[in-house]
Structure 1
Amino acid sequence: MAEDLGFHDAARKHIRRSTAIAAVSSRPGLLGGLLFAAKAPAYHVHWLVVSEQARGKGVGRALMAEAMRRFVRGPGAVEVVTFGADHPGAVTSGARVFYERLGFTAAEAVDPGPEGGSRQVFRLVVTGFERRRDRP
């Protein structure tokens, strides 16, 4: 998905609006990107994509940490809709495990995705103290 030109266009548009973050390499190329909506107390990850060559190297974690630092002013909750447990992409993408490792918990099911597969909300409750604790 990070290789998709549509994603590049959407990322540039949202970066200009200050609602997206991109990770780029010293070589030409987008490693990943995140589209975020920050309207306290509800925060939403609309799109988090990491290129295949960058997966497992901390890019997704770094993008989420930067989004939390920039946009989240708790208390509130950060939500993301990802694959349902029975969706084939749940395992191959690693999305569910990724969000669980960041402290998100599985919540309610939502409408199926565009291809018909199940989807589920993952939610992270934030108190506002996370920002101070995680700051360098």
Structure 2
Amino acid sequence: MIVRVARGMDLAGFLGLAGQVEQWFGPMVDDPGFRRAVEEHIGRGAALVVDAPTGDRLLGGLLFGSEPPLHHVHWLVVSEEARRLGVGRALMAEALGRFAAGGGTVEVVTFGAGHPGAEAGGARAFYEGLGFTPGEPAPAGPEGGSRQVYRRPVGRPLAGP
């Protein structure tokens, strides 16, 4: 599996991935703010993707931000077909090595315990499996669902196999 820096032509792929998770995150595909955020991350070289073996779609994408010593996973999504195949782990490993190698703390805001996406999407278990620990509640998402901050010190390898 190859993780690469996203290019402008990957915008449509990011929007396709977003369409698969709007039920958990709220409207994104037609949201100009989301589109602008993806374009800005791509422009800064802070967006990573994994292509399908056929090269016709993205299996996963990640938007990252750093203000050392604090780093942020702004958005991470894996296509339904590729979940539990290591795509998310590969994206995170590349992001931490590329953007947070100097150390510090990585934060991500994910679903709160009561959010339907927490169980169905496996996000909380995914981050916990990578060594993130739950922190304080975060403001509700645009769809009204609960959110929670997760943190992980950087400078050590990802947990798990």
TM-score interval for Structure 1 and Structure 2 normalised by the shorter chain: 0.7 to 0.9
Gaps of 5+ in 2: 1-15, 20-27
Matches for 1:1-136 after TM superposition, within 5 Å? 2=17, 4=19, 6=29, 11=38, 13-27=40-54, 28-126=56-154, 128=155, 130=156
Aligned to 1:2, what secondary structure does the other structure show?
A: helix
State the 1:74 CA deviation: 3.6
Instruction: Work out the number of aligned pairs and report it.
Output: 130
Q: How big is the alpha-carbon RMSD for the aligned residues of Structure 1 and Structure 2?
A: 2.2
State the 1:73 CA deviation: 3.2
Deviations along 1:43-68, one digit per CA (max 9) or x if unpaired, are 00000000000101000000000000
Cα distance between partner residues in 1 of 2:79 and 2:121: 11
Q: Answer yes or no: is the 8 Å Cα contact 1:109–1:121 preserved in 2.
A: yes
Cα distance between partner residues in 2 of 1:2 and 1:52: 9
Q: Answer yes or no: is the 8 Å Cα contact 1:11–1:33 preserved in 2.
A: no
Q: Answer yes or no: is the 8 Å Cα contact 1:2–1:8 preserved in 2.
A: no
Aligned to 1:38, what secondary structure does the other structure show?
A: strand
Detail structure 1 runs of 4+ shifted over 4 Å in the superposition.
Answer: 7-13
Q: TM-score, normalised by structure 1?
A: 0.86
| Structure 1 residues 3 and 80: alpha-carbon distance in aligned structure 2, compared to 1, 3 A threshold | closer
Aligned-residue identity in percent: 57
Q: Answer yes or no: is the 8 Å Cα contact 1:40–1:73 preserved in 2.
A: no
Deviations along 1:22-43, one digit per CA (max 9) or x if unpaired, are 1002311110100000110110
Stretch deviating more after TM superposition (94-103 or 23-32)? 23-32
Q: TM-score, normalised by structure 2?
A: 0.73
